[in-house]
Amino acid sequence: MNEQRFACTACGLCCHGMLPLSIEEAFKWAHVFPLAMSATPVKPGTRGYAMKEVAVTFSAGAKKPIQLIVTPVAFIPPTAPCPKLADDGLCSIHEEKPQRCRTMPFYAYKEEDSQRDMLVPRPGWKCATGEDAPVVYRDRKIVDRAEFQRERELLKGQAVALQRYVDTVARYDPGFSMRVQTAATAVVPGRVIVGFVSWLRQNKELDVVGFARRQHPVLKEWLEKTAGDAKAAQFASYYREAIGDLERYLG
């Protein structure tokens, strides 16, 4: 029998940086998180990912189809804490926090039998993995898989809409296609960030003005936080551009 133990110690270190969200969560938390769309290529032959169920296929201009993990994200610099992380290291919205947070340390983009590496704390993280921690993974199966299954179903449920989104963006934005292909051919696959407004533009039934009113002040706040920080220059540049995109709807 092969077992792995894990427990959260509320060090708060996993609550820093970018946070994947569902489409529904992105709209729910538009007044809190600076939003973007993220597309990450998965190299052919990479084992363990549930590509058939949750991935998106990109083929525009590519010699071979490229598998992408596409998701809305809270686009936060890696050293910055989640705006809902309290001073005591606990989540201030614990009862309604995003599904990605609930599923941690497991990762629903990967198959259940490929979760072993997710239980190895990153450098500096203070997760408990010793004998005092509970067994959470046994013989390549998650002991309590309720949140994992909930996230997997959520990802499967939005896959069709995300495929349609990528097809549309690839058709009308040549720059996106070039960036995806560049990211896919890198030694370590990169991440392509696109303005969240690109999602809004192809979903005409959405209240774009209402969204812009909630998201605009959040982006301005994060632009102020990252101004002058060389390590966060990519983020500041994105916030500045995203603010300009939203102001078109605010008049």
What whole-number distance in Å separates Cα of residue 171 and Cα of residue 9?
46
Structure tokens at 232: 């966060």
Whose tokens are 């632009």? That residue is: 223
- List per-residue pLDDT tens for the chain, 251 residues long: 899 999 999 999 999 999 999 999 999 999 999 999 999 999 888 889 988 889 999 986 657 889 999 999 999 999 999 999 998 889 999 999 999 999 999 999 999 999 999 999 999 999 999 999 999 999 999 999 999 999 999 999 999 999 999 999 999 999 999 999 999 988 777 999 999 999 998 888 889 999 999 999 999 999 999 999 999 999 999 999 999 999 999 97
Name 187's Cβ contacts closer than 8 Å, sequence gap at least 6. Answer: none
Contact between 33 and 93 under an 8 Å Cβ cutoff? The reply is no
pLDDT at residue 199, rounded to an integer: 94
Sketch the domain layout of the chain as residue ranges. 3-202
Q: Please state, in angstroms and rounded to a whole number, the distance separating the CA atoms of residues 173 and 51.
A: 24
